[in-house]
């Protein structure tokens, strides 16, 4: 059953240090993270979480991220680490994997285009 926003969310059994805002070494953007004031359990899945509960929890986490002033920095951090679990910067782990794959494909295409351009310039 889907949880409505006004219903209490399921609290995840995750270590507190996994909360995005509590990752001390990640950068100065953490001091402005909105999620510091929310439960860490909103951002990370408990074990054996039913699909409907996961979707509701992730959407609730994304709503927190949407009003966060450091969403871009957080998302970039999670992509660069990369962070394998949880909602970071408004993206789930699966969405970050897709974003990373797109980014890598784009980088490969840019390298190929640059290489082809160099060959054309060298051929004169
Ligand atoms: S974007 Fe989301 S996960 Fe990242 S710091 Fe802000 S509220 Fe936390």
- 35 has binding-site annotation: yes
- Looking at the 3D structure of the chain, how many domains does it have? 1
Is residue 72 situated within a structural domain?
yes
86 lines ligand 1 (CB under 6 A): no
Q: Collapsing DSSP states into helix, strand and coil, what is residue 58? A: helix
Tell me whether residue 2 is in a domain: no
Q: Does 108 reside within a domain?
A: yes
How far, in Å, from the CA of 120 to the mean position of ligand 1?
Answer: 45
Low-confidence ranges of the chain (pLDDT < 70): 1-27, 37-38
Give the pLDDT confidence score for residue 36 in this predicted structure. 74
Q: Is residue 42 part of a domain?
A: yes
Whether 29 is in the pocket of ligand 1, judged by its Cβ within 6 Å, is no
Separation between Cα atoms, residue 90 and residue 61, nearest integer Å: 7
Q: Which atom of ligand 1 is nearest to the CA of 30?
A: 5
Residue 22 within a domain: no
65 annotated among ligand-binding-site residues: yes
| Domain containing residue 94 | 34-122
Q: What spacing in Å lies between the alpha carbon of 66 and ligand 1's midpoint?
A: 8
The pLDDT value given to residue 41: 87
Task: Find out whether 36 and 21 touch, Cβ atoms under 8 Å.
Answer: yes
Q: What pLDDT shows up at residue 98? A: 98
Report pLDDT for 2.
32
**Residues sharing a CB contact under 8 Å with residue 57, sequence separation 6 or more, in sequence order:** 3, 9, 10, 12, 42, 45, 49
> Over the stretch 63-78, which tens digit does the pLDDT of each residue have?
999 999 999 999 999 9
CA 63 to ligand 1 centroid distance, Å: 10
Among residues 47, 75, 73, which one has the least CA distance to residue 61?
A: 75
The pLDDT of residue 40 is: 77
In a domain, 1, yes or no: no
Residue 116 lies in a domain: yes
pLDDT, position 9: 35
pLDDT value at position 62?
Answer: 97
Residue at 88 is within a domain: yes
């Amino acid at each position: 059953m889907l949880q409505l926003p006004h219903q209490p969310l399921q609290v995840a059994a995750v270590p507190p240090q996994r909360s995005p805002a509590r990752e001390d070494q990640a950068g100065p953007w953490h001091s402005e993270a909105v999620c510091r004031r929310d439960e860490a359990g909103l951002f990370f899945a408990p074990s054996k979480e039913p699909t409907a509960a996961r979707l509701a929890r992730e959407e609730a986490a994304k709503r927190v991220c949407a009003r966060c002033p450091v969403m871009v920095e957080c998302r970039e951090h999670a992509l660069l680490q990369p962070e394998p679990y949880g909602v970071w910067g408004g993206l789930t782990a699966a969405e970050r994997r897709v974003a990373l794959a797109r980014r890598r494909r784009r980088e490969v295409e840019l390298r190929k285009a640059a290489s082809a351009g160099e060959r054309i310039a060298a051929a004169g």
